[in-house]
Amino acid sequence: MIIYEFKVKGKDRQYRAIDDAIRTSQFIQNKSLRYWMENKNVTKYDLNKYCAVLACVFPFADELNSMARQSAAERAWSAISRFYNNCKKKVKGKKGFPKFKKYCRSVEYKTSGYKLSVNRKAITFSDKKGIGTLKLKGTYNLNYYDIKQIKRVRLVRRADGYYAQFAIDVQVKVETHPTQQVVGIDLGLKYFIADSKGLVEPVPKFYRKSEKVLNRANRKKSKKFSTARKKAKVRQSNNYHKARNRYARKHLKVSRQRKEYCKKLAYSVIQSNDLVAYEDLNVKGLVRNRHLAKSISDAGWHTFRLWLEYFGYKYGKVTVAVPPHNTSQNCSNCGEKVKKSLSTRTHVCPHCGYVVPRDLNASINILKLGLSTVGHTGIYATGDLPSWAIGASLLSNAESMNVESPLL
């Protein structure tokens, strides 16, 4: 499964129609969740049948394509099934009880409700929402694939415009020649990665570098916000919404910079090695540290891991997630535990006299753990499939982690 993304061009009335379709999809998703909460033993198929009931009761829901309504119900069921699985696995802490959506950004069609033009440069939506024909702007060519291979089409609203994502059912595996190289990777804040070969990659700090510009845009947005309008429940001024959009576009730029950096680095690591061992970090738990939360979020460890696993699957390389416990404390030479704080950047073993940078010592330990794991090829330590392997369904947050750059 691969995902091609195009920017769509249309008129203002078409953009308003897309927004209306997104609101309707959100309404159906929330209604499906409410139906599950108020009834026992509700299944995925019950939610699909409930979509037809909603279409009969609400005329604006009937305007949306039937399969688009089913996709909205499937989103609700995805959250429900994830909650059930977390309860069965007895996950510590919160189990992720499904929540009602307040700000949806996308609507998803399956195999009906749209039609591509002859040259595949435009798409026409045929439901009653009135979206009509939208031009597709992008570098990908859909003529290489059969229409039957397109399993889903999603319209996404972002700060800089509207996009169309195509989920295409094709084989993504590529045969490569073995490099006869293995590597262990330690993720950090001083260096983004430090491998067992002694190579390091600096942290780009995209958010930190743009923080001054972001704060200025945020202040300009706040100055245009009217508390009186909010109390009166009146829409904010157009100048406020323009400033809000400018602020969102700057954040979107930082997000894309981080994503592209992680993508290229993961691709380089996979192409250079046959086995890659890395830490199974609990990033969600690490960002609870208020002193390091901003730096950890800015680094993009989770994004890097997703791309590493995806490229490992695509090019037939082994990716191994190992437990991170004591990888930086244990001596990679003798195996004895040497306690050290985060500020200590050099590993000095009092038992064997081994002296090496802290990150290099950790990466060697990670590689040893990866090599000692027999039969752990292509396993994802969280127990869940990564975002690119969930089948024909796209991501619920409208981010497609397997949208590759044309250069890769």
pLDDT of residue 221: 93
pLDDT of residue 383: 39
Q: Is 218 inside a domain boundary?
A: no
| Measured distance CA(244)–CA(226) in Å, rounded | 13
Q: Which residues pair with 320 in a beta bridge?
A: 277
Among candidate residues 343, 369, 348, 347, the one with its CA nearest the CA of residue 358 = 347
Q: Are residues 84 and 134 in the same domain?
A: yes
pLDDT at 52 over 70: yes
Neighbours of 133 (CB within 10 A): 13
Q: Is 220 inside a domain boundary?
A: no
Tokens, residue 168: 């295409």
pLDDT of residue 386: 44
The SS3 of residue 314 is helix
Neighbours of 332 (CB within 10 A): 22
- Encode 315-380 in three state secondary structure: CCCEEEEECCCCCCCECCCCCCECCCCCCCCEEECCCCCCEEEHHHHHHHHHHHHHHHCCCCCCCC
Q: Is 335 inside a domain boundary?
A: yes
| Measured distance CA(343)–CA(352) in Å, rounded | 22
pLDDT of residue 378: 46
Q: Is 246 inside a domain boundary?
A: no
Q: Is 405 inside a domain boundary?
A: no
Q: In sequence order, which residues have a C-beta less than 8 Å from that of residue 209 and are 6 or more positions away?
A: none
Query: In the chain, how many H helices and how many E strands?
Result: 11, 14
pLDDT at 278 over 80: yes
Q: Are residues 308 and 375 in the same domain?
A: yes
Q: Is 334 inside a domain boundary?
A: yes
408 vs 42, higher pLDDT: 42
Mean of the per-residue pLDDT values for the chain? 86
Residue 284 domain boundaries:
182-208+252-389
Query: If you ran DSSP here, which 8-state letter would residue 353 be given?
Result: -
Q: Are residues 256 and 308 in the same domain?
A: yes
pLDDT at 250 over 90: yes
| Measured distance CA(141)–CA(145) in Å, rounded | 9
pLDDT at 382 over 50: no
Q: Are residues 329 and 260 in the same domain?
A: yes
pLDDT of residue 380: 45
pLDDT of residue 408: 58
How many separate domains does the chain show? 2
What φ, ψ does residue 95 adopt, rounded to 5°? -95, 0
The pLDDT > 70 percentage for the chain reads: 91
356 vs 61, higher pLDDT: 61
| Measured distance CA(154)–CA(65) in Å, rounded | 13
Q: If you average pLDDT over residues 143-153, what whole number do you get?
A: 89
The CATH number of the domain where 203 resides is what? 3.30.420
Q: Is 304 inside a domain boundary?
A: yes
Which amino acid type is present at position 343?
A: S
| Measured distance CA(44)–CA(54) in Å, rounded | 16
Q: Is 325 inside a domain boundary?
A: yes
Q: Are residues 275 and 367 in the same domain?
A: yes
pTM: 0.83
pLDDT tens, residue by residue, 198-239: 888 889 999 999 999 999 999 999 999 999 999 998 999 999
Q: Are residues 96 and 136 in the same domain?
A: yes
Q: Which residue among 119, 144, 168 closes a domain?
A: 168
Q: Which residue has the tokens 């003529």?
A: 143
Q: Are residues 190 and 164 in the same domain?
A: no
Q: Are residues 148 and 269 in the same domain?
A: no
Q: Are residues 136 and 192 in the same domain?
A: no
pLDDT at 194 over 90: no
| Measured distance CA(299)–CA(194) in Å, rounded | 14
Q: Are 136 and 122 in contact (CB under 8 A)?
A: yes
50-59, 169-178, 336-345: which range is least confident on average?
Answer: 336-345
Q: Are residues 152 and 41 in the same domain?
A: yes
Neighbours of 384 (CB within 10 A): 11
Q: Are residues 303 and 363 in the same domain?
A: yes
pLDDT of residue 391: 43
| Measured distance CA(48)–CA(6) in Å, rounded | 29
Q: Are residues 148 and 193 in the same domain?
A: no
Confidence of residue 406 (pLDDT cuts 50, 70, 90): low
Q: In sequence order, which residues have a C-beta less than 8 Å from that of residue 189 and are 6 or more positions away?
A: 203, 292, 295, 296, 299
